Every structure is written in structure tokens, then in C-alpha cells.
Amino acid sequence: MEAAILKINNINSVRNMKLKVSVVSHWVNKRNIFWFLTGTLFLLLALYFCFLTQTIVNTASYKSMEKKITILDSNIGELESQYILLKRSVDFNLAKELGYIEVTTIKFVDKNITNQTLSLVK
């Protein structure tokens, strides 16, 4: 009888040891999972704030660029009006003052397709 009782006690001690080991390993796993999730949370929060900051900077930059584009667009309008006024002021008299002369004889250059050469036609 004592042998049977001893065997049962040994089985119980083995079960208790297994239970203790599983409880310890279960607690270690929970602790590791907690720190992993905490680290992931901090990483995601850091990324969120980086993206939020970048969005704010881009919005401010966009407003600044919009103002610059408006200024440059108005400058283009002024330059186009000056160009049109200057273009209208160019005439034959201004060309003569600048040294241009009227061509009396007109000469054309003809391309000879068969020889692939240029010739002067009078």
C-alpha cells in the first residue's frame, strides 16, 4: 500500500511542478507581450505625430506658394501688356532709325531635290 501512496505522491509533485512551470512561463509571456505592445504603441504614436507635423508644414508651405504664384501671375499680366505696347510701337520708321534698309531686289534660294543642293534663283 505504501508503494501505491508513494507513487500517487510522486505524480502529484510532478503535476505541481508542471503547474508552477506553466504559470511562470505564462507570466513571462504576458510580460513580453505587454512590453511588445507598449513599444508598438509608442512607435505608432511617434509616427502619427511625425505625419501630423509634416502635414502642417506642407499646408503652410502650400499657402506660401499660393501667394507667390498669385504675385507672379499678376507680374505676367503686366509684362504681357508692356510687350503688346512695345510690339505696337515697332513700325517701318523705327526700323529705318535702327539701320534696316528696304530690299530692292528679292532673291530666293531654291532647293534642287535631285542633287540635294541649294541654288540661287534671280
- 81 and 90 Cβ atoms separated by less than 8 Å: no
- Give dist(CA 47, CA 6) in Å, integer: 61
Domain boundaries, the chain: 2-121
Closest CA to 41 of 49, 61, 83, 84: 49
Rounded CA-CA distance 22/106 in Å is 108
Percent of the chain with pLDDT over 70: 66
Q: Tell me the residue length of the chain.
A: 122
Residues 25-60: tens digit of each pLDDT: 666 678 888 899 999 999 999 999 999 999 999 999
Report the C-alpha gap between 113 and 110 in whole angstroms: 9
Residue 100 pLDDT more than 70? yes
